[in-house]
Structure 1
Amino acid sequence: MRLLTYVRPYWIAFVAAILCMGVSSIIEPVFPALMKGLLDNGFATAKDSWDWLLYPAAIVGVFVARAILGFIGDYAMSWVSNNVVSELRRAMFARIVNLPVGYYSDHVSGRLMSRVAYDVTGVASAATSALTTLVKDSLSVIGLLGWLLYLNWKLTLVAFAMVPFIALAVRAFSGRLRQVSRGIQASQGAITQILQEAIEGHKVVKIFGGQQYECERFEHSVQEQRQFAMRATVASSAQGPIVQFFAAVALATIMAIAMKQAASDQTTVGGFVSFITAMLMLLAPVKRLTDVNAPIQRGLAAAESVFSVVDQDAEPDHGKINIERASGLVEFDGVSFGYPGSERQALSDVSFVVHPGESVALVGQSGSGKTTIANLLPRFYHIDGGEIRIDGNALNDITLHSLRRNIALVSQEVTLFNDTIAANIAYGTQKGATPDEIRAAADAAHALEFIELLPQGFATQIGEKGVKLSGGQRQRLAIARAILKDAPILILDEATSALDTESERHVQAALETLMRGRTTIVIAHRLSTIEHSDKIIVLKHGSIIESGTHSELLGRKGAYANLYLTQRSEGESAK
């Protein structure tokens, strides 16, 4: 019934489709009725008048009317079906982009894509195509049975005797089909996931000789889907012949009784031919009604998959405070946090303050909690204890929209989209930026020099994930995007760690422009890039073990000094 809520906006077309199908099906018994009149009366009237032309004309009229009504009904239902698919995909995508960060960690992207791309069509099939068959063929069956009852109720009761056997056969296969359909959907998600990983990681696959391994993974998933598909075929294909067997038994019994009645003058030739014609016409819609069980079960299984995404809770946002532009005061007060499913705390009683316009660098070994701090500030995750404040307001009291409007992020893993350079710089809330504003941001990010060398300049398509650009060029576009946003709080997550010396020089200069006048939290691997930070915080196992300026920490000869000296000696030996 929930599917009908997506059909409701198109109810006029839906009702029109149902009416056309209904009328088309209801007039189906007219054909066997005309056969009775033709055989009983038509040949007698042909001798004396032109009335005999009425029967052929009526037969043609019936088929023309059914053809026109059938076309209108099918077209209208297809229009509704495609709109339902679009609405469901929009609803799923709108939910996906608003899901909590933790959801993406627990669910593979390939399965999500499979649900949007494939499962939705199964739902629409159940909501519209299967419904078409149910309406059209059910009314045909009812109309033909009504005519059969009118002609000979005794013979018709023989046909009704087969109904319980047919119902049992349909019910026996329904559960099997639903279960197998779930398996098909899961295997389709696995195929999509493997395909996505192989395409995105094609360089790694080639350099490490992973072609055979990936082919074996893909083969396993394809074979798994094939097995599920064959099980579904067995269940759906076996159902039809079983139903047809019972229908054939009923037809043979009826024909034997009808022939006996005709021999004893209990029925006319026209009545007998009309009855047999109606019985034969009844077989096709009965078969389609039994076959429709398979797409209905597939659709119901797909609906479970689709609505499991639509029904996911979006990111909780209970904030009431709307910050127009923050001054940039950031406070971590006794913050503790552990990732779901992890046994140890990622952060434990972390406290520090970043004043407006200051830059604070976070350093430490991998897993010390640096990136966790960067994830907590935009509220990608919710803290377990303590409090984070911006301008004195608790993070949970600030609306998500206004919180993230005041934060810009530049990370080592740059996210760019298969669009133009201009669209990637003026992304999201900045899409209304003027060409002059986009150009100024690119200039400040030291990106203008390479953009102007491209044949189409800012209109250049950069490919999936910016594959047509170098690492340094992608990083500078990300910085230009942050400059254009002009947020008062900036997070730099190892923004230069993966660059060569020349690219790092350009990016570092761009970052200095970006950081000017902004509250900045820098996560750095290369300590040489953070020597001029207002404060350096050293983390270990989720706790702060040292904090101070670069010179102060070197003077203490503690963990930071050891790390700094180690990196400097490694750099000198590399030369």
Structure 2
Amino acid sequence: MDKSSGDTQSLWQLLSPHKPDRKSFVYLGLLVVITTALELVLPLYSSHLIDSIGANGVGTAVVLGLIALVLFTAVFEAVLAWFGGRLGHRISFRLRYSLIGRLLHSQSQSLDQEHSAELSARVVNDSKEVKSVLAEDLTGLLSGLISLVAVITIMFVLDWRLTLVLVTCVLAGFILITPIALMMNNIGKATQAAEANLLKHVTEWLRYGKLVKSHNAGGELHKRSQDLLDECFTQEMRATKVLSLIGPISNLVLMLSMIAILAFSAYWLEQGTMTLGTVTAFLLYLFGLTFPLMAMAMFFSNLNKASGAATRLSEISRLPTEPSEAPLVLENITDLAVKDLCFVRDDKTILNQVNYQFPASGLSIVLGESGSGKSTLLNQFLGFYPETHTSVFINGKTLDEYNLSSVRQSIAWVDQEPKLLHASIRDNLTLGLKQQLTDDEVFNALKSVGLHAWLERINHDLRLMVSEQSHQFSGGEKQRFAIARAILRQAKVLLLDEPTSALDDSNKVELMILLRKLADKMRVIMISHHLDLIEPEDNVIEMAAGEIINSNS
């Protein structure tokens, strides 16, 4: 199998789970047949009208019949375009929904080396190429094929000599257009890759706009964007050059066919072996063939672009997903431990034979220098890495025995720089919650973490949108907000990664008071490398080089 056919096969495999039901295909087929039949009858009716012209002109009934036929044809063409487009858009909708779901449920390690903006570009832009073929070109191909076969058959019945002339011209056009259309495969891939690369960089520059400004890097990055745009422009021009050849070649075939038909018709008319009505029908069919031929040429050209996009989309559809089959639901956490836990990434041992049972009460602080494995250790409890599930124990059972969704419902995670979505305050606080919370419940959670003044500042408006840079927060408010989100989840365990790293001394003290208060109600485990945060009653775990070297519990 050559590369092009392999890519096309990837496209059909990608679309197979999302294809419409048989009834929709039947309706589409009926519309195509009826519309094509009306388009084919029109030239025959016109031929009959011309041949029936007599001394008294044309009958009123014949003219009215022609007008009715033209209107019916236009109506069915509009319905076919709408129905075919709707069918294509529905397939595209299902495909995008499936791909987004795949990304959201993929194993974290599968996405570690991928850029989020590039993945987004694949789902949105690459699927657009697939949608173009389905929503716009597929209907044209079906009607074009039927029209081509039917027109040639009718022409053969009308006059086989002119039919042979026309078929010769059409075949010459296909021979010229087919190699050009096949070139779009590699061009499509290169164009999509260039656009994804551009989107990735621009998204990153805008996300870290303050960093760019503070380092006076705007001019440098602006110049770098020119290189990225040059690559996009180069690939787009390659596609434009190819597509610009298809139209002129089709027109050339049309003109040559018309000249050939007129030349031979003039000769046979003079001999009396052909009527003027037959010539008229042939010319109408010739113009009628222009759209099917163009539609078929565009379909195969865009099919190659879509096949290139499908290759990239198939990579997403094959991403391994997180395990979800375990029936055991975690309702409470009485015991939390790791046994013989090893974790290796890129041939580097990050955790080495770690054994530890976390205390059931109080605040636990994991100490260690950067790179000692602290964050990686806590990440194991959230099930991000399937290969370590059998070394993580909750209530005496391994992590792979539990339904992963119920585990994450019971264990809340607050990152070093808490992540907030570009959504409302309420949506950020209730992220992932199944039950609907009242405003009072949300306000109480925010007040319990000391955000009274912040609530006053935003006028208690839970519909306020959080900006991408979270400008609504200052000091330790972002950490407190993330802790409030954990409280609303009614989590049994709260994990925090360096929550005090970006805070001043005053905010550090306030946050530690809050965490010790929460530790009376739930298991709280935090990462730090500041010894001054430790109180005598805290549980302390010291790590170095991926191992626990000391603990006071």
Q: TM-score, normalised by structure 2?
A: 0.91
Q: How far apart, in 2, do the equivalents of 1:498 and 1:190 lie?
A: 32
Q: Is the 8 A contact 1:333 1:352 kept in 2?
A: yes
1:448 corresponds in structure 2 to 452
Whichever residue aligns with residue 466 of structure 2, its letter is I
C-alpha distance in 2 between matches for 1:131 and 1:284: 13
63, 67, 72: which one aligns with 2:70: 63
The alignment status of 1:24 with 2:35, answered yes or no, reads: yes
**Structure 1 residue runs without a partner (length 5+):** 550-575
Which residue number in structure 2 is paired with residue 286 of structure 1?
293
How far does the alpha carbon of each residue in 1:59-97 deviate from its partner, in whole angstroms, 9 at most, with x for none?
A: 212220111111111222232233233222221221111
1:125-274 equivalences under 5 Å are 125-274=132-281
Secondary structure in structure 2 of the residue aligned to 1:107? coil
Say if 2:401 is the partner of 1:388: no
SS in 2 for 1:516: coil
Q: How much has 1:357 moved relative to structure 2?
A: 1.8
2:408 aligns with 404
Larger mean Cα displacement after TM superposition, 73-82 or 189-198: 73-82
1:165-564 matches, within 5 Å, as 165-317=172-324, 319-327=326-334, 329-339=335-345, 342-383=346-387, 387-429=391-433, 431-532=435-536, 534-548=538-552
Q: Secondary structure at the match of 2:321?
A: coil
Greater relative CO, 1 or 2 (CA 8 Å, sep 6+): 2
Distance 1:290 1:521 in 2: 63
Q: Which residue pairs with 2:3 in the alignment?
A: none
Residue 385 of structure 1: how far off its partner (Å): 9.8
| C-alpha contact (below 8 Å) 2:389/2:398 kept by paired residues | no
CA distance in 2 between counterparts of 1:313 and 1:384 reads 16
Structure 2 distance, partners of 1:225, 1:233, is 12
Distance, in Å, in 2 between the alignment partners of 1:5 and 1:18 is: 20
Give the C-alpha shift of residue 402 in structure 1.
Answer: 2.0
Separation of aligned partners in 1, 2:387 and 2:48: 82
Counterpart for residue 114 of structure 2: 107
For residue 97 of structure 1, what is the aligned residue in structure 2?
Answer: 104
Greater shift, 236-245 or 489-498, is seen at 236-245
The amino acid of 1:165's aligned partner reads A
Q: Which amino acid aligns with 2:274?
A: T
> What SS class does the counterpart of residue 357 from structure 1 fall into?
coil
Cα displacement string for residues 39-60 of structure 1 (whole angstroms, at most 9, x for unaligned residues): 22223453xxxx6223322221
Deviation at 1:118, TM superposition (A): 1.6
CA gap 1:515/1:174 in 2 versus in 1, 3 angstroms: farther
> Relative to structure 1, is the Cα distance of residues 344 and 350 closer, same or farther in structure 2, using a 3 angstrom cutoff?
same
Q: Secondary structure at the match of 2:391?
A: strand
**Equivalent of residue 6 in structure 1, options 10, 18, 34:** 18
> What is the letter of the counterpart of residue 108 of structure 1?
H
Cα displacement string for residues 442-470 of structure 1 (whole angstroms, at most 9, x for unaligned residues):
12111133213322433433322532221
d(CA) in 1 for partners of 2:233, 2:122:
19
**Cα pair 2:145 2:292 within 8 Å, conserved:** yes
Q: Distance in 1 between matches of 2:114 and 2:63?
A: 63
Match of 1:123 among 122, 130, 135: 130
Q: Sequence identity of aligned pairs in percent?
A: 24
Does 2:54 align with 1:43?
yes
Q: How many residues align?
A: 541
Cα drift, residue 98 of structure 1: 0.6
Q: More displaced, 303-312 or 115-124?
A: 303-312
- SS for the counterpart of 2:264 is helix
| Cα separation, partners in 2 of 1:4 and 1:69, compared to 1, 3 Å | farther
What is the aligned-residue RMSD (CA, Å)?
A: 2.3
CA contact (8 A) 1:424 1:477 kept: no
Instruction: Provide the C-alpha distance between the structure 2 equivalents of 1:287 and 1:61, rounded to a whole number of angstroms.
Output: 27
Native 8 Å contact 1:16 1:73 kept in 2? no
Answer yes or no: is the 8 Å Cα contact 1:350–1:543 preserved in 2: yes
Structure 2 unpaired stretches of 5+: 1-11
Q: Secondary structure at the match of 1:256?
A: helix
Q: Could you say which residue in structure 1 is the equivalent of 2:6?
A: none
- Cα distance in structure 1, aligned partners of 2:104 and 2:536: 38
Change in Cα spacing, 1:138 to 1:45, as seen in structure 2 (3 Å) is farther
* CA distance in 1: counterparts of 2:106 and 2:27, whole angstroms: 38
Deviating more after overlay: 212-221 vs 317-326: 317-326
**262-271 or 119-128, which deviates more:** 119-128
SS in 1 for 2:60: helix
